[in-house]
Structure 1
Amino acid sequence: MTSTQPSSSITDGGLVRPMFELAWPIVVIQLLQVMYNVADTFWLGRLSSDAVGAMSIAFPLIFFLISVAGGFTTAGSILVAQFTGADSEGSAGKVAGQVLSFVSILAILLAIAGYFLTDPMLAVMPSQGATTEQVVPLARRYMETYFLGLPFLFGFFVFTSLMRGYGNTRTPMRIMMVSVAVNVVLDPLLIFGWGSLDGMGVQGAALATISARAVASVLGLYVLFFTSAGPTVGLDDLLPDLGFIWKIVRIGTPSALEQSTSSLAMISLTAMVVQFAPPVVSAYGLGNRLASLVFLPAMGLGRATNTMVGQNLGARKPDRAERAVWLAAKVGAGVMFAVAIVAVLFPGPIVGVFMATGTKQADATIRLGSQYLRIRSVEFVFMAVLQVLLGAYRGAGNTKLAMAFSMITLWLGRVPTVYFLAFVRDMGPTGVWIGMAFGNIIGAIVAALWFTRGTWKRTVIDEPGVAVADGDGE
C-alpha cells in the first residue's frame, strides 16, 4: 500500500482537488464506521425493540471511556499534519510511534476499568419501570463484552488519525472496508446463532464489532511499520520520549476533555430519555444512529479541513489554510441542505428500514423516530459549518477553542434546552427532539463569529522537531 496523496498537493496548487481527495475517503470511512452501528441496530432490531434500546443506553457510557483516550489520537493527527507540512518526516514518524504506545497503554487501563465499572455506570441512569426490567440488563451484557475488546478499537482509531494527518485517507478506507465486511458476516451469526453455534443476542453484536476491529488494528499496524503509505515508524519510536509525550498530552488533553464532556452530555441526555417508555428510548437511539449517518458529509469535510489547515500552517501558508476552511464550509452547507430535504420528505421509510419486528412497540418506535429525524433536519446546515470550523481549530492546534465551542453546543445549547422543553414545559419526546437540534445551531453561530477574528492562525511547532508554540489560539 502506497500513499496516493502527497503533501505537495495539499500545500500547493488548487484547493478543490486536495480537499476532495482527502474528504471522500473520510466520508466513506465514517460511513463504514456507522455501518458497524447500523449493522448492529439492523439485526438487533429484528431481535427485539428492547435490544435496540439497550444500545441506546450503553453507547453513551462506552463513549465516555473511549473519549478519555480519544483526544490523544487527535493530538497525533495535528502534530503529524504540521510536521508533514513542514517537511519533517522523521518527527512525524516519531510522533506516530509515541501516540501509538501512549494510547495503547491507556486503552488497556480503560478496558479493565470499564469492565468492572459497568454496573456503577448503569446505576447512574434513572431508568424506570419496563426500561429498568427489560432494557438495562441487556445493556449490561453488551457493555461488559464491548469493554474487553477496547484495545482493538483504539488500535484502528490511532492508525486512522495518524494517516489522516499524513494526508493519506485512502489506505484506512480500504482497511475499514475489510473490517466492516467481517462485522457484517459475524453479526447475524453471533446474534442469532447458526447450526451448532448458539445465538448470543446483544453480546454477539458486541463480540462481532470488537472482532472486526481486531482485524483492522492488525492491518493498520502492518501499514505503519512495514509500508511507505504513512509516516515512517520504527520500533525505537515506541520507546517513551518525554518531550513528545508532553506535546501529545498538552495538545490532546483539551480534545480529551472535549470528547469527555461531549460524552457526559450524551449520558445526561440519555438519563433524561430513559425516564420515558421503551419506544421513546429506542427511537432516541435509532434517531441518533441515523443522524450520525446523515452527518457523514459534514464530518468528512471537517476532518479534511483538519489536515488541510494543519499542513498549510506547518508550511507557513495561513491564507491558503483560511481559503480551504471557507471552501469546505460552503460545500458542506450545500450538501447538508440537500440531505435535510430528503430527511423531511421521507422520514418514515428511512426509519422503518431498521425496525421490522411487526409489533406495536416497533410501530411506536418508527413513528417517534420519524418525528425525531424530521425535527433534527433543521440543524443539518449548521452542523456542517460547525464541523468544518472545529476541524480548522483542531488543525491549527487550537484544541482549547474546539473544546470551548463543543461545550457551548452541548452544555449551553442542547442539554438545558432538552430538559426545559421536555420536563419544564412538559413537551415530552418532542421537547427532546427540538432541544437536540438547537445545540448545533447555537454552536455554529458562535464558532463562525469567532473564526472571523483570525486569531486561530498559529502552529504548534516552531521548527521541525524542535520546539512547540503555545498553540492555544486564545
Structure 2
Amino acid sequence: MAVGVLSLLGFQLVDSAFIARLGTAPLAAQSFTFPLSFLIIGVQVGIGIAIAALISRALGAGETARARRLGALVLLGGSALIACLVVGLHVAQTPLFRQIGARPALLPLIRDYWAPQLLAAWLGAVLYFGYSLFRAHGDTRLPGKLMVLTSLLNLLLDPLLIFGVGPWAGLGLPGAAWATSLAFGSGLAIVGWRLGRSDWLTASGLVAEARRSTRPFLGIAMPAMVSQLMPPLAAMLATAVVATLGDERVAAWGLASRLETVSLMVVLALTMSLPPWLGRCYGAGHWQEIRRLMALAFRVVVVWQLALGVVMALLAPWLAAVLSGNPEVRDGLEALIRALLPSYALLGVCMVVVSAANALGWPLRAMLMSAARLFVCYLPCLWLGTQWGGDIVGTAWGAALGNLLAGALAYALFRHSLGDRGKLVESTA
C-alpha cells in the first residue's frame, strides 16, 4: 500500500510540477481547486472507512453473506452520492472560488480546469470504493499495483495532453485533469473486471440488508465523513489566509500541499491497511493484539516521518528549485518544506489515531480528534504565525506548531480511550 500511495500521490505532485511550467497563474488556479477537491476526497474516504469497518467486522464474525451484500450496497450508494456532490460543486463553482480568495482574472482558468477535474474526482472516488472492498477482504496487493499503474499512465499522458506533441499544441491546464480522468478510468475498468470474477458482491437481499445496515453504516460513515470534511474546510480557510500574501504564495502553498501528501505515504498506507486488521481484531475481541498493532504503528510513523522530514528539510533548496522556476514561489516553498516536513511525525500520529478510532467503534471520538487537530491546534497557529511573521515563513512555522500540538493531543486521547476499554474488558471478565 505504501508503494501504491507513493505512486498515486506522486502523480499529483507531477501534475503540479508540469503545470508550474505553464506559469504562476495556472499553478495558482490549480491550487485554488485543492480545497474543493479535498472535499470530494473527504466524503469518499468517510464512505471507505465505513466499508472497511463493517465488512471486516462481518468477516471477523463469520458473516460472509452479509459482507457480500454490504459491498454491493456501498458501491451503488457511494457512487451515486459522489455524483450528486460533483454536480453541486460544478454548479456553485464561481461563488465558492471567490469565497476562497481567487481573483477574477483566475476564474476563467479555474473554470476550464474544474469540469474535467470533477470527472476525474468521480472516477477516482468509485475506484477508491473498489480499493476499499479489496482491503476489507485482506487484499492490498491489487490496489497497490493499480495505484502504480494509474500513476504511470498519468505520467505518460500529462506532457502529451498539457503541452501537446508535434503540430498539436495541447490543452494546457485542463490537460492535467483529462490525463487523470483517463488514468482513473483505466484502473476502474480493471477493478470492475476483478470484482466481476470474485464472490464478494451479491444482488440478492439488498433491500433487507439496507434496512438492517443503514443505521450502523451511518453511525460510522457520518462521523467519519465529518472528520474527513473538516480538512477541506480547514484547507479552504488556510488558503484564504495565504491568499492575502499574493498569488506566488498561494502557488507555493499548493506545491507544499502536494509534497505533504507524498511525504505522508507511509502514514496514508497505514490508515488504509490498519482498519481492516483492527476491525477483525475488534470483531473477535482481541484487544491485546490491537495494543501491539497500534504501538508498532506509532513507532513506525514517528521514526519514518522524522527521518524523512529532516532529510527533506536539508534538501529544501534543491526540491524547491526542481518544482518551480519562479523565484518568489521557490523561496516560499523552501520555507514551507523546512518548517512543515519534520512536523509531520506528530501529524502522522494524529492521522493514525483517527483512522484507528473509526475501526474500533469510536467514530465520535475520531470526529472530535479531527476537529481539535484542525480548529483548536492547526488553524489558530497558522493564522497567528501569518499575523506575527507577515509572510509565508510565519505561516509555515505556525502550521508546524499546530501539527505538533495536534499529534500530542491525539496520542493522549487515544491512550485514555484504550485505557477505558481495557478497564471495561477486565470488569466484564
TM-score bracket, normalised by the shorter chain, equals over 0.9
SS in 1 for 2:56: helix
Distance 2:161 2:134 in 1: 32
* Matching residue of 1:145: 116
SS in 1 for 2:201: coil
* Matching residue of 1:191: 162
Match of 1:332 among 301, 318, 324: 301
* Matching residue of 1:12: none
Match of 2:245 among 276, 289, 314: 276
Q: Deviations over 1:403-426 (max 9, x none)?
A: 111111111111122222213x25
Match of 2:85 among 100, 110, 120: 110
Structure 1 position 347, deviation (Å): 0.7
* Matching residue of 1:19: none
Structure 1 position 144, deviation (Å): 2.2
* Matching residue of 1:171: 142
Match of 1:250 among 219, 222, 229: 219
Distance 1:178 1:302 in 2: 21
* Matching residue of 1:235: 203
Residue 290 to residue 213, structure 1, CA distance change in 2 (3 Å): same
Paired letter, 1:236: S
Structure 1 position 455, deviation (Å): 4.5
After TM superposition, the structure 1 stretch with the greater mean CA deviation from structure 2, 412-421 or 267-276, is 412-421
* Matching residue of 2:411: 448
Contact 2:309–2:342 (Cα < 8 Å) also in 1: yes
Match of 1:162 among 115, 133, 155: 133
* Matching residue of 1:427: 390
Structure 1 position 363, deviation (Å): 1.7
Contact 2:49–2:221 (Cα < 8 Å) also in 1: yes
Match of 1:287 among 248, 253, 256: 256
| Structure 1 position 46 matched with structure 2 position 21 | yes
Contact 2:43–2:82 (Cα < 8 Å) also in 1: no
SS in 1 for 2:245: coil
Root-mean-square deviation over aligned CA pairs: 2.0
Structure 1 position 274, deviation (Å): 1.4
Structure 1 position 81, deviation (Å): 1.7
Distance 2:18 2:334 in 1: 20
Contact 1:389–1:447 (Cα < 8 Å) also in 2: yes
Distance 1:375 1:221 in 2: 42
| Structure 1 position 211 matched with structure 2 position 182 | yes
Distance 2:270 2:157 in 1: 31
| Structure 1 position 308 matched with structure 2 position 277 | yes
Structure 1 position 456, deviation (Å): 8.0
How many residue pairs get matched? 420
Alignment of 1:395-474 (within 5 A): 395-423=359-387, 425-455=388-418
Normalising by structure 2, what TM-score? Answer: 0.92
Structure 1 position 205, deviation (Å): 0.7
| Structure 1 position 86 matched with structure 2 position 61 | yes
| Structure 1 position 346 matched with structure 2 position 309 | no
Residue 355 to residue 238, structure 1, CA distance change in 2 (3 Å): farther
Contact 1:93–1:237 (Cα < 8 Å) also in 2: no
| Structure 1 position 381 matched with structure 2 position 349 | no
Contact 1:408–1:443 (Cα < 8 Å) also in 2: yes
* Matching residue of 2:427: none
Residue 457 to residue 216, structure 1, CA distance change in 2 (3 Å): farther
Contact 1:122–1:140 (Cα < 8 Å) also in 2: no
Normalising by structure 1, what TM-score? Answer: 0.84
Paired letter, 1:117: A
Paired letter, 1:206: A
Match of 1:299 among 268, 273, 290: 268
Residue 417 to residue 169, structure 1, CA distance change in 2 (3 Å): same
* Gapped regions of structure 2 (runs ≥ 5): 422-429
Contact 1:115–1:143 (Cα < 8 Å) also in 2: yes
Question: What's the % identity of the aligned pairs?
Answer: 24
SS in 2 for 1:47: coil
Distance 1:247 1:412 in 2: 29
Residue 97 to residue 433, structure 1, CA distance change in 2 (3 Å): same
Distance 1:426 1:432 in 2: 7
* Gapped regions of structure 1 (runs ≥ 5): 1-25, 357-361, 459-474
* Matching residue of 2:74: 99
Distance 2:383 2:134 in 1: 40
